[in-house]
Amino acid sequence: MEVRFAVLGPVQVTAGGRELTGLAPRHRAVLAYLLLHAGAVLSPDQLIDAVWGLTPPDTARAQVQAAITAIRRVLREAEADTLLATRAGGYVIEPAWLDAQEFAAQVSDVPADAEPAAAAARVREALALWRGQPLADVHADYVESARSRLDQRRLSAIERLAELELALGRHEELIDELSAHVAAYPLREKLAGHLMLALHRAGRQADALAVARSLRESLAEQQGLDPGRAFTALEQGILRDDPELQHRREQAEPAREPGRRANFLPYDIPDFAGRTGEIERIATHRPDVPILAIDGMAGIGKTTLVIHAAHRLAEHYPDGQLFVDLQAHTAGHEPVEPAAALETLLRQLGVPAERVPATLAERAALWRAELADRRAVVVLDNVADTAHVLPLLPGAAGSLVLVTSRRRLIDLDGAHALSMDVLPAKDGVGLFTSIVGERATAGPSAVLDVLQLCGFLPLAVRIAAARLRHRPRWTVEYLAGRLRDERRRLAELSTPDRGVAAAFALSYVHLDAPHQRMFRLLGVHPGRDVDAYAAAALAGVTVDEAETLLEDLLDAHVLAQHEPGRYTFHDLLREHARATAAAEEDDAARHDALTRLLDHYRHTAATAVGLLYPFGKLRRPAVPEPDSEPVPLRDQAAALAWLDAERADLVAAGGCAADGDWPAHAAHLATLLHPYFDDHAHHADAITLHGKALAAARRGGDRAAEALALLDLAWVHWRQGRFAEAYETCRPALELCRESGDRLGQSRAHNTLGNVCLRQRDYEQADHHLTRALELSRELGNPVGEAHSLSSLGISHERQGRHDEALDHQLRALELHRRVGSRNGEARVLDLIGQVYRRQGRPEQAGEQHRQALELARELGDRLEEARAHEGLAHACRDGGAVDEARDHAKRALERYTELGVPDAAGVESLLAELG
């Protein structure tokens, strides 16, 4: 039975005409990404990055594994589970039929010289495969860019179909169809042009010109642009009722006389791999915009791409293929002056030396005149900036100029830009394998390791593959092992003629002093990305100055940006920045920079946590004001957004502080972030940071900091269901707090020990510890601690059948939480009150409490409490006889528990089994 996959609409799997169901939204997200990369082995890390981007949950790996299991289960219904295979490096799916592949094949199989009627039928058949918006029911980080690429292919096919139908004289039939497309894509010039031509041929000149006006207004309003020359020429032709625009059968063009054409393009390497999207973009570039500026970081493959593309486009530009290297980033060379470059280009066109003028202005004028009536592709490689290339641009639109630069040429008016990124995994594997040969196929997982260590940077991949090819005794695994040594990695990725570090060094040399300093100090940063406030603290400059420097480094492709306002390095550039900082910044300067950064993170974390948990001030350490500009956190939403964005950097900063000369910063960051980590189930981060703080406290003999770290670790262990470990961690913390007279710490320790005993069903000990915690909280005037202890005592009493006492404790806890404004605590206690009502046989009252808890949890974004509320509602609905509603809540609870990776799902699974 053939299994068919579809992504051109909602993601579907069908077998024998029947849709196979059973995939949850996250499962469909993983399946769709595998299908979009059919035939490529994708590692779990790649799938995690694709689905969640830069902020995966702690349970991401488990969710990917669950998705793979679910996909296999669905395919097993059609006896086709072998379509999804596990390889050493990850997972690969090889569908026998996929609508996106079928669409691409049908469109690309139409020859350029095919008979129009047959070609139109073929393209229309391909377009019939679309069932709506691609990936319509998938929500993941990769979806927006993937959907955009698929939509562009569909629009290109629609435009081609319109051309074919117009050539067949079917303008009347096209009008309604094209009107709908133009309404959906009001900035698409080619679509609007086709509709205008169809209307004009149908005798509706006024309507055709109205379409033109609408496009002009939309372009001016949304992009500040005018239409291109081809569109303007069509508009003018309609205005004067040009007879050439009426339909006529195209006559075959007379064959061009064979002649010699100038081809000065460098060698096109035979092992070029991938870059299909970029090649397609260049090949389909609008003819009325003659300049395409390709930018990207050093080693990204700009020159290789444009040379390959120019060779492929040669037949479309019969008057020559010209090339000049302007050497803006070439070791040992000064950039080529525009006048010298023009002399080279004019000579390539066949202009005799004696006709080449002396001045730059005269050469530029002659160049424009010579190119005016020609169709040539011109490659201007390795440009420094806009001023460097301006004199070399043609005056007419017949030729195509491909410009490459390490800088974004944002002020190159009239040009379209193409920014290159690192290689996708599939293209990287293809490039590496094309160079290495059979040894690459023997170790696919090791190949992916090498590619990841090279950061999927083409130059690095080429050098690594070349080293392996010329060392027959090496294996791919051995090469990967050598590259894992960060101190030697850049040295490994070099040859006598070229190297990654050398390419990066040239980019660095072309920066001015303030930008070089920012680049170096960013290499000192312990995390993965940075915002302008952190960069300002690191460099000791204002936020405005930092943002300007960061944006300039972004334009120079020294930094990258995956989301607005956050800047990061390519992995290899980060290593180069660290090495440069070590070589050019002394120890004191690096220490001062890190101190400013840690002061910034500590103070901003204290501000954010203070906004989110104003009732927890007894636990928060006093934090001094930093010298840097504070982040303007105006409310709880801003505070939470900052913590979410900076979470990985905060953990890295805490680790850096603990391992270095800042133990107080490590202790403060760990203590400050504990409630945030706890509320949002970031348990892995909490274990890392509290463990680092504990090690630093013990090294420094700081017993107070040691006690706090142990208390926080014990609570995380309890959250994760490791009760014995929680108990063993908390006991020494209690002793340390008794030694120092820290009654707040004693209260916390007793509360944790009481909760551990609760889970172990030792209710006598639980009541002992929780009662002592309650007494200490009351003595200290700590209503939040009092509320927590009351609530836990209520749980203990409820489990012992003392329901009236349990309800009384929970109601008093609820009052305290509401009084101090602890909304997370309020949501938790509402859910616990619902549990007591269920035990009392009052399902309606229980359901009301659980619903209130669910609404509050959703408002707060507390996914753990949301899961608990769903579980409580499932039980309440079951007890009230609403089985279908109970099943729905139980499923939602299980989904949330699985996402969070918390050990509270067994009861829900049992309930689901009971509900059937």
Q: What would the DSSP string read from start to end of 521-563?
A: HHHH--SSEE-HHHHHHHHTS-HHHHHHHHHHHHHTTSSEEEE
User: Six-digit token pair at 184?
Assistant: 């959906």
Q: b/e per residue, 374-390, with b = 16+ CB within 10 A? A: bbbbbbbbbbbbbebbe
Contact 538, 499 (CB under 8 A): no
User: Six-digit token pair at 482?
Assistant: 């050598």
Number of separate helices (H) and strands (E) present in the chain = 41, 14
Helices 587-612, 513-524: inter-axial angle, 10-degree rounding:
70
DSSP letter at 242?
-
Domain 824-915 has CATH 1.10.3720.10: no
Residue 904, pLDDT score: 58
Q: Measured in whole angstroms, how far is the alpha carbon of residue 558 from the centre of its chain? A: 18
Write the CB contacts of 659 (distance below 8 Å, at least 6 apart in sequence): 692, 696
Q: Which residue has the tokens 């950064």?
A: 597
User: Six-digit token pair at 304?
Assistant: 């290789």
Contact 778, 797 (CB under 8 A): no
Domain 717-817 has CATH 1.20.120.160: no
HSE toward the beta carbon, residue 737, CA cutoff 13 A: 20
CB atoms within 10 A of CB 505: 17
Residue 202, pLDDT score: 84
Q: Can you give the three-state secondary structure of 553-575, one letter per residue?
A: HHHCCCCEEEECCEEECCHHHHH
Q: Calculate Rg over the CA atoms of the chain.
A: 33
Residue 256, pLDDT score: 32
Residue 105, pLDDT score: 86
CB atoms within 10 A of CB 314: 15
Q: How far apart are CA 782 and CA 539, in angstroms?
A: 41
Residue 906, pLDDT score: 67
Residue 250, pLDDT score: 38
Helices 444-453, 425-436: inter-axial angle, 10-degree rounding:
110
Residue 899, pLDDT score: 80
Residue 218, pLDDT score: 83
737 - beta bridge partners?
A: none
Residue 112, pLDDT score: 63
- Shortest CA distance to 405 belongs to which of 313, 566, 286, 294? 294
Write the CB contacts of 413 (distance below 8 Å, at least 6 apart in sequence): none
Residue 415, pLDDT score: 87
Residue 903, pLDDT score: 62
Residue 88, pLDDT score: 82
Contact 865, 827 (CB under 8 A): yes
Within 614-682, residue ranges assigned H as helices are 636-659, 663-679
Q: How far apart are CA 390 and CA 180, in angstroms?
A: 40
User: Six-digit token pair at 726?
Assistant: 């929680």
- When the candidates are 2.70.70.10, 3.40.50.960, 3.30.70.20, 3.40.50.300, the CATH number that belongs to 276-419 is 3.40.50.300
Residue 496, pLDDT score: 62
Contact 677, 690 (CB under 8 A): no
Secondary structure class of 495 (helix, strand, coil): coil
Q: Identity (one letter) of the amino acid at 279?
A: I
Kind plus residue range of the DSSP H or E element containing 99: helix 99-108
Q: Identity (one letter) of the amino acid at 303?
A: T
Domain 511-585 has CATH 3.30.43.10: no
Q: Which regions in the chain score pLDDT beneath 70? A: 1, 111-114, 248-262, 287, 331-332, 495-497, 902-906, 916
HSE toward the beta carbon, residue 121, CA cutoff 13 A: 4
| Interval 427-481: pLDDT, tens | 899 889 888 888 888 778 899 999 999 999 989 998 998 888 888 888 999 999 9
